[in-house]
Amino acid sequence: MKQLIECVPNFSEGRDLSIIKQITDVIESVNGIRLLNVDPGYATNRTVVTFVGEPEQVVDAAFRAIQRASELIDMRYHKGEHPRFGATDVCPFIPVSDITMEETIEYARLLAKRVGNQLNIPVYCYEFAAFEEKRQSLASCRAGEYEGLAEKMKTAEWQPDFGPSTFNERSGATAIGARNFLIAYNVNLNTTSVRLANSIAFDIREAGRIKREGDPITGKIIVDEHGEPVRIPGTLKKVRAIGWFIKEYGIAQISINLTDITTTSVHQAFDEVCERAHDRGIRVTGSELIGMIPLQAMLDAGKYFLQKQHRSVGIPDHEIIRIAVKSLGLDELAPFDPDKRIIEYFLKDKGSKLIDLSLTDFVHETASDSPAPGGGSVAAYVGAMGVALGSMVANLTSHKRGCDDRWEEFSVWAEKGKVIYEELLKLVDKDTEAFNQIMEAFKLSKETPVEIAARKSAIQAATKNAIEIPFRVMQISYDSMEIIEAMAEIGNPNSVTDAGVGALCAVTAVSGAYLNVLVNAKSFNDQEAIQTIMNEAGTIEVQAKNRCEKIQSIVRKKLDI
């Protein structure tokens, strides 16, 4: 999975669409960036742009956008209802997949430094990227807005983190930060009562409700010693919520902002609303996702509901997502298309990989006069099929009659298998890519001594990669035999032959990948550097063959032959 960061810059222009277009054009000019949404607001005179890509691409696109905004937007003439203090008012980075918050913070600060140094715009780092606690709050950084910025910057405590410490009259200042993914999410109720919907919203939102004497609606507000209203906190952290009536659907909804899904997830919010609604005689009928959602959030939801049913979570992702959609009722008001609503699926290059081919097309591609895909890719694919059979036996056994008290044990085995077959599927394409890299290296020019040396180095680097990939296929295909052996021993007896076939696939993958290790090792000059790999590869093949024989003995014994 690629590292992906979402960026949601807010620009202080929402009325002149030509200016907005020029800014989004420079964002889209960066290769690999996908523009997800552009939302201009006339009254706020502000546009929220959402795009996503790999970290370096996002930093580049964000910089270009901030630079173009500084050229096109003059804050001296800006008026709007929304708080703001700069042409690019705020620019948060949000980790989406395969990247930590710590890594995201570093990229946010890298952008902040570049904007400050190269564009001479004062930059304040906020939220997780803040260097001090008082700057974590965007509201604190932006207090006083553009009109108060000049005086604010004269104080020692509000010197910018990057860029000049003097007021930039044209561009103002920019807040650059890192935050968790925010999800806008509505829960549907079988009522038209906004009062009841609000009551549920106050139950769950972090801010809760104001405490009153007697009647919770009309009673006198209770205040503390400072004269501030006392609040009864809600049950969910990092959640904002309100009730409203949607005329289009004829129902009331709980409108929820999940500001940190690592603290409160979609499924946790849904279940809490269900419980609070039930207390009031109301039924939740479904829910509605606004915008897009990270893949992991949907997988977490699907696994949560599967576990509540005592079902295995070691099933393919598309099945887990289907369970999530049905359990949350995300398709009640409109169809839910994962390819359009899940960020990673939306960004995926459709049909560009071998593993995206149909079985028939994969066979035809292998049989063609092209040397790739070859034995290495086929070995990885066979290994994936072998461990998939092991996962299948685990999944079947997990909900077999009489195994109710062991469903979790078999779910763990199935999930272990899923991790392995997903990696092997990636290695199908990586093996072919490795072969192609060798071919490209051989095509490099060799007319000068420098070119000859560069070509030789490129060939050796590509060859080393072509050794390491089938070696990895050997390692994890052998690891999969632990799962397959367990399923032969304790899995559903009716599926024992599936475990037997899985073992044969696994040992074929190991031996097939070993042949690719050997053939590429012959072309690698530094034999000492790969000796450890070669020794371990030979050992793995012997162990795999022995383990396969052991599994076949278990299978034959259970078949009584």
Domain of 108, CATH number, reads: 3.30.990.10
Q: Judging by DSSP bridges, how do beta strands 88-97 and 10-11 pair with one another?
A: antiparallel
Please say which residue of 283, 316, 347 terminates a domain: 347
Alpha-helix runs per DSSP H in 329-448: 338-341, 343-347, 359-367, 375-398, 407-442
User: Which residue, among 441, 468, 467, has the nearest Cα to 454 in the 3D structure?
Assistant: 441
Q: How far apart are CA 154 and CA 276, in angstroms?
A: 50
Considering the domain architecture, whether residues 467 and 407 belong to the same structural domain is answered as: yes
Considering the domain architecture, whether residues 210 and 133 belong to the same structural domain is answered as: no
Structure tokens at 260: 């940190």
Considering the domain architecture, whether residues 293 and 441 belong to the same structural domain is answered as: no
Considering the domain architecture, whether residues 126 and 234 belong to the same structural domain is answered as: no
Residue tagged 């999800």 (tokens): 183
Structure tokens at 25: 């054009």
Please say which residue of 294, 318, 347 terminates a domain: 347
- The H or E element containing residue 493 is none
Q: How far apart are CA 170 and CA 86, in angstroms?
A: 8
Rg (CA), the chain: 29
Considering the domain architecture, whether residues 146 and 40 belong to the same structural domain is answered as: yes
Q: How far apart are CA 312 and CA 239, in angstroms?
A: 30
Considering the domain architecture, whether residues 9 and 149 belong to the same structural domain is answered as: yes
Considering the domain architecture, whether residues 150 and 217 belong to the same structural domain is answered as: no
Q: Is there a contact between 454 and 472 (Cβ–Cβ < 8 Å)?
A: no
Alpha-helix runs per DSSP H in 233-310: 266-279, 295-308
CA-based angle 65:88:289, to the nearest 5? 85
User: Which residue, among 315, 311, 483, has the nearest Cα to 390 in the 3D structure?
Assistant: 483
Alpha-helix runs per DSSP H in 153-265: 194-204
User: Which residue, among 395, 375, 397, has the nearest Cα to 387 in the 3D structure?
Assistant: 395
Looking at the structure of the chain, the number of domains it has is 3
pLDDT (tens, 9 = 90+) of the chain, 561 residues, equals: 689 999 999 999 999 999 999 999 999 999 999 999 898 988 889 999 999 999 999 999 999 999 999 999 999 999 988 889 999 999 999 998 889 999 999 999 999 999 999 999 999 999 999 999 999 998 899 999 999 999 999 999 999 999 999 999 999 999 999 998 889 899 999 999 999 999 999 999 998 988 887 777 677 888 777 878 888 899 999 999 999 898 888 999 999 989 889 899 999 999 999 999 999 999 999 999 888 898 999 999 999 999 999 999 999 999 999 999 999 999 999 999 999 889 888 888 766 788 888 899 999 999 998 887 899 999 999 999 999 999 999 999 998 887 778 899 999 999 999 999 999 999 999 999 999 999 999 999 999 999 999 999 999 999 999 999 999 999 999 999 999 999 999 999 999 999 999 999 999 999 999 999 999 999 888 888 888 899 999 999 999 999 999 999 999 999 987
Considering the domain architecture, whether residues 399 and 506 belong to the same structural domain is answered as: yes
Active site residues: 82, 431
- Domain region containing 326: 183-347
Considering the domain architecture, whether residues 469 and 528 belong to the same structural domain is answered as: yes
Domain of 203, CATH number, reads: 3.30.70.670
Structure tokens at 460: 């050796």
Residue tagged 């580049």 (tokens): 60
- For residue 323, count other CB atoms closer than 10 A to its CB: 21
DSSP secondary structure of 58-74: HHHHHHHHHHHHHHH--
Q: How far apart are CA 270 and CA 260, in angstroms?
A: 15
Considering the domain architecture, whether residues 124 and 151 belong to the same structural domain is answered as: yes
What does the pLDDT read at residue 1?
63
How does pLDDT run across 21-65, given as a tens digit for each residue?
Answer: 999 999 999 999 999 989 898 888 999 999 999 999 999 999 999
Strand order from edge to edge, sheet including 284-290: 239-246, 251-258, 183-189, 284-290
What does the pLDDT read at residue 350?
67
Considering the domain architecture, whether residues 402 and 452 belong to the same structural domain is answered as: yes
How does pLDDT run across 59-118, given as a tens digit for each residue?
Answer: 999 999 999 999 999 999 999 888 899 999 999 999 988 899 999 999 999 999 999 999
Please say which residue of 330, 347, 364 terminates a domain: 347
Considering the domain architecture, whether residues 391 and 274 belong to the same structural domain is answered as: no
Domain of 452, CATH number, reads: 1.20.120.680
